[in-house]
A and B are shown apart, each in its own frame.
Chain A
Amino acid sequence: MEEFLSLTLGGVVNGSVYAAFALALVLIWRSTRIVNFAQGSMAAATTFIAVAVIDSGQSYWVGLIVALLAGLVMGALIERVIIRPVEGGPELNAVIVTLGLFIAIQGAVALFAGVNQRAFVPPFSNIGYEVREGFTLLSLSPNTIWTVAAVVVTMLLLIALFRFTRLGLAMRASAFGQEVARLLGVRVGRMLTLGWALAAAVGALAGLLIAGDVSFISPTFMDQLIVFGFVAAVLGGLDSPIGAVVGGLLLGLALNYVRGYLDDSLLGMASLVILVIVLLVRPGGLFSTTPARRA
Chain B
Amino acid sequence: MAEPHGSTASGHGLPAASGPAGSGTGTATALLDVQGLSASYGPVRALDGVSLRAESGRITAVLGANGAGKTTLLRTISGLVRPTAGHVVLDGEDITRAPVEAMVHKGMAHVPEGRGVIAELTVDENLRVGSLFRGKVGREEFDRVYDLFPRIAERRDNPAHTLSGGERQMLVVGRALLARPRILLLDEPSLGLAPRIVAQIFGLVRQLVDSEGLSVLLVEQNARSALSVADTGVVLNLGRVVVTDDARTLAADEDLRHAYLGF
**Separation of A294 and B80 alpha carbons in the complex (Å):** 28
Among B101, B117, B125, chain A packs the most CB atoms within 10 A around the CB of B101
Who on chain A is nearest to B130 by CB?
A184
Least CB distance, A290 to chain B, in whole angstroms? 8
Could you tell me if A184 and B175 are in contact, using CB atoms closer than 8 angstroms?
A: yes
Who on chain A is nearest to B122 by CB?
A294
Least CB distance, B152 to chain A, in whole angstroms? 16
If the complex has contacts A169-B125, A170-B132, A180-B129, are A185 and B118 also in contact, measured as CB distance less than 8 A? Answer: no
If the complex has contacts A169-B128, A169-B129, A293-B120, are A184 and B112 also in contact, measured as CB distance less than 8 A? Answer: no
Partner of A185, one of B105, B117, B159: B105
Partner of B120, one of A170, A172, A183: A172
Partner of B110, one of A170, A181, A183, A291: A183
Cβ of A132 < 8 Å from any Cβ of B? no
A contacts with B, residue count (CB < 8 A)? 23
Could you tell me if B101 and A186 are in contact, using CB atoms closer than 8 angstroms?
A: yes
Name B111-159 residues within 8 Å CB distance of A: 112, 116-122, 125, 128-130, 132-133, 135, 159
Cβ of A188 < 8 Å from any Cβ of B? yes
Contact with B along A169-184 (1 / 0, CB 8 A): 1101100110111111
Set of chain B residues within 8 Å of A79, measured between Cβ atoms: none
Could you tell me if A186 and B133 are in contact, using CB atoms closer than 8 angstroms?
A: yes
Set of chain A residues within 8 Å of B242, measured between Cβ atoms: none
Could you tell me if A176 and B120 are in contact, using CB atoms closer than 8 angstroms?
A: yes
Name A177-216 residues within 8 Å CB distance of B: 177, 179-188
If the complex has contacts A169-B132, A173-B129, A179-B112, are A185 and B120 also in contact, measured as CB distance less than 8 A? Answer: no
Cβ of B100 < 8 Å from any Cβ of A? yes
Least CB distance, A73 to chain B, in whole angstroms? 24
Could you tell me if B121 and A173 are in contact, using CB atoms closer than 8 angstroms?
A: yes
Cβ of A292 < 8 Å from any Cβ of B? yes
**Separation of A20 and B119 alpha carbons in the complex (Å):** 27
**Separation of A169 and B132 alpha carbons in the complex (Å):** 8
Could you tell me if A166 and B132 are in contact, using CB atoms closer than 8 angstroms?
A: yes
If the complex has contacts A166-B132, A170-B132, are A185 and B112 also in contact, measured as CB distance less than 8 A? Answer: no
Could you tell me if A186 and B132 are in contact, using CB atoms closer than 8 angstroms?
A: yes
Set of chain A residues within 8 Å of B236, measured between Cβ atoms: none
Cβ of B103 < 8 Å from any Cβ of A? yes
Least CB distance, A98 to chain B, in whole angstroms? 24
Set of chain A residues within 8 Å of B105, measured between Cβ atoms: 185
Set of chain A residues within 8 Å of B132, measured between Cβ atoms: 166, 169-170, 173, 184-186
Cβ of B78 < 8 Å from any Cβ of A? yes
Who on chain A is nearest to B175 by CB?
A184
Contact with A along B28-40 (1 / 0, CB 8 A): 0000000000000
If the complex has contacts A181-B129, A182-B100, A184-B175, are A292 and B120 also in contact, measured as CB distance less than 8 A? Answer: yes
Could you tell me if B121 and A187 are in contact, using CB atoms closer than 8 angstroms?
A: no
Contact with A along B154-196 (1 / 0, CB 8 A): 0000010110000000000001000100000000000000000
Name A91-127 residues within 8 Å CB distance of B: none
Contact with B along A159-175 (1 / 0, CB 8 A): 00000001001101100
Least CB distance, A275 to chain B, in whole angstroms? 23
Could you tell me if A176 and B121 are in contact, using CB atoms closer than 8 angstroms?
A: yes
Least CB distance, A183 to chain B, in whole angstroms? 5
If the complex has contacts A180-B112, A294-B159, are A185 and B133 also in contact, measured as CB distance less than 8 A? Answer: yes
Cβ of B109 < 8 Å from any Cβ of A? yes
If the complex has contacts A177-B116, A292-B161, are A184 and B104 also in contact, measured as CB distance less than 8 A? Answer: yes
Partner of B100, one of A170, A183, A291: A183
**Separation of A186 and B110 alpha carbons in the complex (Å):** 13
**Separation of A294 and B159 alpha carbons in the complex (Å):** 9
Who on chain A is nearest to B131 by CB?
A184
Set of chain A residues within 8 Å of B9, measured between Cβ atoms: none
Cβ of B102 < 8 Å from any Cβ of A? yes
Least CB distance, B136 to chain A, in whole angstroms? 8
Set of chain B residues within 8 Å of A185, measured between Cβ atoms: 101-105, 132-133, 179
A residues sitting closer than 8 Å to B (CB atoms) are 166, 169-170, 172-173, 176-177, 179-188, 239, 290-294
Task: Give me 18 A-to-B residue pairs in the complex whose CB atoms sit less than 8 angstroms apart, sorted by A's number.
Answer: A166-B132, A172-B121, A172-B125, A173-B118, A176-B118, A177-B119, A177-B121, A181-B129, A182-B101, A183-B100, A185-B101, A185-B103, A186-B101, A186-B132, A292-B119, A292-B159, A292-B162, A294-B159
Q: A170-B132, A291-B159 are in contact. List 17 more A-B contacts (CB 8 A).
A: A169-B132, A172-B121, A172-B125, A173-B121, A173-B129, A177-B129, A182-B100, A183-B78, A183-B100, A183-B116, A185-B103, A185-B179, A186-B132, A239-B120, A292-B162, A294-B120, A294-B122
B residues sitting closer than 8 Å to A (CB atoms) are 78, 80, 100-105, 109-110, 112, 116-122, 125, 128-130, 132-133, 135, 159, 161-162, 175, 179
